[in-house]
Amino acid sequence: MDTEFGSSTRAVRAPDPRLRPLMYRDLYGFDLRRAGFSSWLEPPRPAVTLMIDLEGSIRADGERLPSAWVGGLGERLTVVGFGGGDYMSVDIELTPLGAYTVLGRPLADLAGECVALEDALAPGGRELADRLREERDWDARFDVLERFLIGRVAVGPAPTPAVAWAD
């Protein structure tokens, strides 16, 4: 889509049914070219963000983010910006229980923080980012991402029945 704000392509796909209960929204990717803006406000959401830059980089409140990261739950607006060039990424949002299962750690560890994906997911995070960057189309990227997430869910912790019921 071409607008006065630049040219962008969005890729959206419903997740595999096994992942649907863990996802805050569908699988999402975007490719922004010739942006006519350099920043925007991101409101807090009841979701944990997993972002992998495929091209370019972004900043949060003026600080450059890792090229692949996990953002924990927060309570405030964030000013997100980029250098005004081209930017492409895969942007996944997990429910809190989904993030607990995929990350295998208490969400309190990530509250209000942005953590490099390789730190949050050990070596698997770097491998995932590299594999997504190697793929050349959105369906292939989403296939890689789904296989990775399904694998993490298979070995990740499950919430206690009381916590799952409260969700």
Residue 136, pLDDT score:
93
pLDDT band at 145 (very low <50, low <70, confident <90, very high): very high
Cα torsion 113, 64, 75, 71: sign: negative
55: left (phi over 0), alpha (psi -120 to 50) or beta: beta
pLDDT tens per residue, range 91-108: 999 999 999 999 998 889
pLDDT band at 4 (very low <50, low <70, confident <90, very high): low
Q: Alpha-carbon distance 3 to 125, whole Å? A: 34
Residue 102, pLDDT score:
94
pLDDT band at 162 (very low <50, low <70, confident <90, very high): confident
Average the pLDDT over 9-18 and give the result: 95
Burial string for 58-88 (b: 16+ CB within 10 Å, else e) reads bbeeeeebbbbbbbbbbeeebeebbeeeebb
Q: Annotate 14-42 with DSSP letters as a single string.
A: PPPTTTGGGBSS-EEEEEEES-S-SEEEE
pLDDT band at 159 (very low <50, low <70, confident <90, very high): confident
Q: Look up residue 39 and give its two tokens.
A: 């920043």
Longest alpha-carbon distance in the chain: 50
- DSSP bridge partners of 155: none
pTM exceeds 0.85:
yes
Q: Look up residue 60 and give its two tokens.
A: 């949060």
Provide, rounded to the nearest whole percent, the portion of the chain with pLDDT above 70. 92
Average the pLDDT over 57-71 and give the result: 93
